[in-house]
């Protein structure tokens, strides 16, 4: 199985040679039926608007047009906190990809720790899940996690996240690239949120904006940064990033965008001695843990092991062998245009208050 970085290098063209070119050609052939199915599904909902179901409370959708690693979880967390600070009862609804039967998946476990007062209901039938939140949990607002392509439930605010480091997924549909659908799908969104905008130049941002305008001229675009803010251990205790500044660390992750995690660690001042990556949503078993302990212990220079919070909630250990284990916590920092988005959130807040 290809790791996420290798796959990105293949579809992005960084892997050169006849072998990789042939593989890209085969992936391109496989992308054709995928593109037909994606376009057909969108056409169905465009023509059959009656199939889109509205629930009894406002709904905000957070999604993307590419697969993996655009920053949905910190965005959902920020939105949920914004409404909870205003005493609005929020529930999060997601499909539950990668979860074992009857259990929460990694993103839900992560959000459960960060937002203990916000219920998270997982069900492939997100209309049913939303109604459970409303009828059984007395929810006043639903946040849909990763739902831009899930069009059966109506939404009052549709946010699509666009990663400034790879905004259009190598410009090809899955599996030839990272696009879940044509970029023209951006026209359905109310706001485009350009994430990791601090990691590119103003010139690059302007080029991205111009390209987005060709696909979706009316799309309102705002910017946001994701920055390291703390280290967390499995008990929930946090310490300052000063703890890893200039420290030698072994780092690992099982996420869709390992390069973003590595970049965040470097921005926090860590010296990465070893780096290991697993597939997105990876389920760590006992053999994996023992292997990680051996891996982290083989270099005496390593001071500690760092992973993502998404990984830590599944591993649940304070240490790997003798090495302290912690998660690098990432926070959302609003950027250019954010007050316009907050104005829309305030309208939803006022709508909820009127209905009380």
Model confidence pLDDT, tens digit, residues 64-78:
999 978 999 999 999
Q: What is the mean pLDDT of residues 137-160?
A: 97
In sequence order, the β-bridge partners of residue 349 are none
Round to whole Å and give the CA distance between 20 and 166.
20
pLDDT at 99: 61
What is the CATH topology of the domain spanning 228-331? Rossmann fold (3.40.50)
Residue 236 in contact with residue 319, Cβ under 8 Å?
A: no
Query: Domain residues of the chain, as ranges?
Result: 49-226+333-354, 228-331
pLDDT at 6: 86
- As a whole-number percent, the residues of the chain with pLDDT over 90 amount to 85
Confidence of residue 2 (pLDDT cuts 50, 70, 90): confident
Strand duo 220-232 + 323-334: pairing:
antiparallel
Round to whole Å and give the CA distance between 101 and 84.
29
pLDDT at 50: 84
pLDDT at 3: 76
pLDDT at 256: 87
Q: What is the mean pLDDT of residues 3-7?
A: 82
Q: What is the mean pLDDT of residues 320-345?
A: 96
Nearest 10 degrees: CA dihedral of 96, 99, 103, 104?
Answer: -50
Domains 49-226+333-354 and 228-331 share a fold: yes
Residue 64 in contact with residue 160, Cβ under 8 Å?
A: yes
Round to whole Å and give the CA distance between 233 and 300.
22
Helix, strand, coil: what percent of the chain each, to 5? 40, 25, 35
236-272 pLDDT, tens digit each: 999 999 999 989 999 999 998 898 999 999 999 999 9
In sequence order, the β-bridge partners of residue 334 are 224
* Class level of CATH domain 49-226+333-354: alpha beta
DSSP summary character for residue 184: G
pLDDT at 101: 65
pLDDT at 247: 94
CA pseudo-torsion sign 125, 131, 134, 137? negative
Q: What is the mean pLDDT of residues 126-142?
A: 97
For residue 98, is pLDDT > 70?
no
Strand duo 120-122 + 220-232: pairing:
unpaired
Confidence of residue 1 (pLDDT cuts 50, 70, 90): low
Coil, helix or strand for 336? Answer: coil
């Amino acid at each position: 199985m290809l790791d996420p970085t290798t796959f990105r290098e293949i579809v992005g063209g960084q892997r050169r040679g006849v072998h990789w070119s042939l593989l890209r050609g085969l992936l391109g052939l496989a992308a054709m039926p995928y593109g037909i199915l994606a376009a057909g599904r969108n056409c169905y909902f465009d023509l059959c608007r009656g199939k889109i179901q509205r629930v009894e409370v406002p709904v905000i959708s957070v999604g993307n047009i590419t697969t993996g690693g655009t920053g949905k979880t910190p965005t959902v967390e920020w939105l949920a906190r914004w409404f909870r600070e205003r005493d609005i009862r929020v529930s999060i609804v997601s499909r539950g990809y990668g979860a074992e039967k009857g259990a929460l998946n990694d993103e839900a476990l992560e959000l459960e720790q960060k937002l203990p007062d916000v219920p998270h209901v997982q069900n492939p039938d997100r209309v049913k899940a939303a109604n459970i939140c409303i009828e059984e949990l007395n929810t006043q607002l639903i946040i849909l996690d990763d739902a831009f392509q899930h069009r059966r439930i109506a939404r009052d605010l549709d946010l699509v996240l666009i990663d400034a480091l790879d905004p259009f997924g190598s410009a090809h549909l899955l599996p030839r690239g990272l696009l879940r659908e044509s970029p023209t799908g951006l026209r359905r969104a109310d706001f485009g949120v350009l994430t990791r905008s601090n990691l590119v130049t103003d010139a690059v941002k302007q080029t991205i904006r111009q390209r987005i305008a060709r696909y979706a001229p009316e799309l309102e675009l705002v910017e946001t940064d994701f920055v390291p803010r703390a280290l967390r251990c499995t008990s929930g205790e946090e310490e300052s990033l000063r703890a890893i500044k200039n420290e030698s660390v072994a780092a690992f992750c099982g996420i869709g965008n390992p390069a973003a995690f590595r970049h965040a660690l470097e921005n926090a001042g860590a010296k990465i001695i070893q780096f290991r990556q697993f597939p997105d949503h990876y389920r760590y078993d006992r053999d994996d843990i023992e292997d990680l302990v051996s891996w982290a212990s083989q270099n005496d220079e390593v001071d500690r092991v760092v992973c993502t919070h998404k990984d830590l909630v599944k591993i649940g250990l304070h240490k790997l062998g003798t090495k302290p284990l912690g998660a690098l916590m990432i926070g959302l920092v609003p950027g250019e245009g954010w007050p316009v988005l907050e104005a829309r959130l305030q309208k939803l807040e006022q709508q909820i208050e009127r209905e009380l």
